[in-house]
Amino acid sequence: MRVEGFTQHGAPVSLPVPDMLTELSSGAREVFDEAVDGGDWQTEGDLVGQIRGLQIAVGSAQAAQVVRIAQFAARTLVETDSGLERMDRGVGFVDEFASDTLAPLLGMSHGPAATRVRTAAKLAADLPVTLAALADGDLDLFRAQVIADELADADHDLCAAVEERLFPWARTKTPGRIRSRIRQVLADLDPEAVRQRAARARLERFVSTRASHLPGMTQWMAQLPAAESAQAWAAIDALAHQHKQEDPEGSMDQCRADALLDLILGNATVSAVLTLSVPVTGTTTGTSRAGGQDAELHPLSDAAAESPIGDPMVPEAFASGACGPAGSVWEQIWPHLAPSDPDGVGVEVPGIGVIPVPMVLSMAADLGVSITRMLIDPQTGTTLETRATGYRPPAGIARLVRLRDGTCRFPNCSRRAERCDLDHVVPWPAGPTQARNLIALCRHHHRLKHSTAWRAELCADGRVIWTDPYGEQWVTYPQDHRETSAA
């Protein structure tokens, strides 16, 4: 899913900016242009002086933005006798939806924007010494965020006591050393609070994956309780040393990765569903205007939207394959997945990344795969439509919408669609339960749509146009399934 901002006439978003900040931006741009152009010869002393001056300027600008973010986040809608009114709760309060409005303006996804807002509120409300060090260019924003994060649960007086022991020492120290010092000081000043935070921290355990920068690879991230994590690592390390003895050529990193997979897959039963993206080329009834052109399309019934291979418009080679475990059907599927260059075709596995088709087929043979198909518009790569008469979307429509959207359709939110609610853009029953009126929204952005002045419009081509409370518009796009052979 892509997202971009625009005005009613298609130009980039342009919120009103005070004259002083416009001049500051212009001046900074001039400094940048001069640096890129080279200009007169600069001595090392001149360069260092400019770098230091720019650091102070950057720090001052970031500190000012921190304060403004905190002030914005403190304002929230409250219900009064005369209706909803905006109220300032004071710096330190964070409105639930503040980060959603700021995320696209800051060019950030929802998670980092939420972190930025929480950090700003803490710095502005409880950490004046840290904020001043940022403004002076003596502390970068990342180390300021570390301090705010470690003191997230500390009250104003405790924060002041920690800052007194932390500065000026922290100005020249690494984030890791700063984090350790804060924990030591907290343990000395309020050991009970430290124990309570450690107990709450267990609730924040997680395991997640993301596509690696290396092709065909995936990165894993985890946050686990220390004791159990130590036990798990010991098990991985012990098995890795066994692998190392069997294969001395492998590195310990490689052996540990193999050991992790052995331990996981040895205690799990894995199955999969492969969804083939099949462009519609037949001509029967119904019309699609996706991509700005008309195409005669076969109308889908609710059952057909998730039926096995065997649709009359699916290439004939699929018709005899049927839905079931991987087997001889691969000989029929392969020419359609990789017509000319098998090694050059990528298949996207959600949450994992894009991997080569031969690897997918190997996985399918190992895991046992049920095969189904998804009809897409050949010009836009967008999934096609089906419909229902009730409020709750049947399985076929739900699956179609989630395949079309890929992720939550709010700007800069990357939560996968299968973890999202399906929201009627125009509330039911005024709006039908059809793909053209349904979008995937994570639970947080579902609440935002119904609790704030944000408004959404779903276009015929699958775009969603969002209008924020200040009249600016942002557009998100459906997933383009032409980029992958399977979803």
Q: What tens digit of pLDDT does each residue of 86-115 get?
A: 899 999 999 999 999 899 888 888 889 999
pLDDT over 60 at 83, yes or no:
yes
Residue 23 lies in a domain: no
pLDDT over 70 at 198, yes or no:
yes
**Residues with Cβ < 8 Å from 52, sequence gap 6 or more?**
137
Residue ending a domain, among 202, 218, 241, is: 202
Q: Do 408 and 318 share a structural domain?
A: no
Residue 384 lies in a domain: no
- pLDDT tier at 369 (50, 70, 90 boundaries)? low
**Dihedral over Cα of 50, 56, 59, 60: its sign:** negative
pLDDT over 80 at 350, yes or no:
no
Distance between CA 372 and CA 394 in Å, rounded? 17
Q: Do 405 and 294 share a structural domain?
A: no
Residue 2 lies in a domain: no
The H-or-E segment that residue 356 falls in is: strand 353-356
Q: Do 283 and 213 share a structural domain?
A: no
Number of domains in the chain: 4
Q: Which residues of 412-448 are buried (b: 16+ CB within 10 A; e: fewer)?
A: bbebebeebbbbbbeeeeeeebbbebbbbbbebbbeb
Residue 26 neighbours by CB distance under 10 Å = 10
Please answer whether residues 329 and 336 qualify as being in contact, where contact means their C-beta atoms are separated by less than 8 angstroms: no
Q: Do 73 and 178 share a structural domain?
A: yes
Residue ending a domain, among 221, 238, 265, is: 265
Q: Do 247 and 336 share a structural domain?
A: no
Q: Do 189 and 214 share a structural domain?
A: no
Q: Which of 67, 173, 199, 57 is nearest to 128 (CA)?
A: 67
Please answer whether residues 243 and 250 qualify as being in contact, where contact means their C-beta atoms are separated by less than 8 angstroms: yes
Q: Do 233 and 194 share a structural domain?
A: no
Q: Do 399 and 304 share a structural domain?
A: no
Q: Do 177 and 110 share a structural domain?
A: yes
Which of helix, strand or coil describes residue 88? strand
Mean pLDDT across the stretch 249-276? Answer: 77
Residue ending a domain, among 265, 281, 314, is: 265
Written as one string, the DSSP assignment of 219-266 is: EEEEE--HHHHHHHHHHHHHHHHHHHHH-TTS-HHHHHHHHHHHHHHT
pLDDT over 50 at 334, yes or no:
no
Domain hosting residue 84, numbered range: 41-202
Q: Which two tokens stand for residue 436?
A: 């053209």
Q: Do 348 and 476 share a structural domain?
A: no
User: For position 53, what pLDDT does the model report?
Assistant: 92
User: For position 193, what pLDDT does the model report?
Assistant: 80
Residue 14 lies in a domain: no
Mean pLDDT across the stretch 201-208? Answer: 86
Residue 51 lies in a domain: yes
Residue 143 lies in a domain: yes
Q: Do 144 and 47 share a structural domain?
A: yes
Residue 109 lies in a domain: yes
The H-or-E segment that residue 160 falls in is: helix 156-166
Q: Do 247 and 190 share a structural domain?
A: no
Mean pLDDT across the stretch 412-425? Answer: 89
**Residues with Cβ < 8 Å from 357, sequence gap 6 or more?**
337, 338, 342, 343, 345, 346, 347, 485
Encoded amino acid at 163, one letter: E
- pLDDT tier at 211 (50, 70, 90 boundaries)? confident
- pLDDT tier at 434 (50, 70, 90 boundaries)? confident
Residue 9 lies in a domain: no
Please answer whether residues 342 and 327 qualify as being in contact, where contact means their C-beta atoms are separated by less than 8 angstroms: no
User: For position 301, what pLDDT does the model report?
Assistant: 39
Q: What angle do CA 430, 392, 431 make, to 5 degrees?
A: 15
**Residues with Cβ < 8 Å from 161, sequence gap 6 or more?**
185, 189
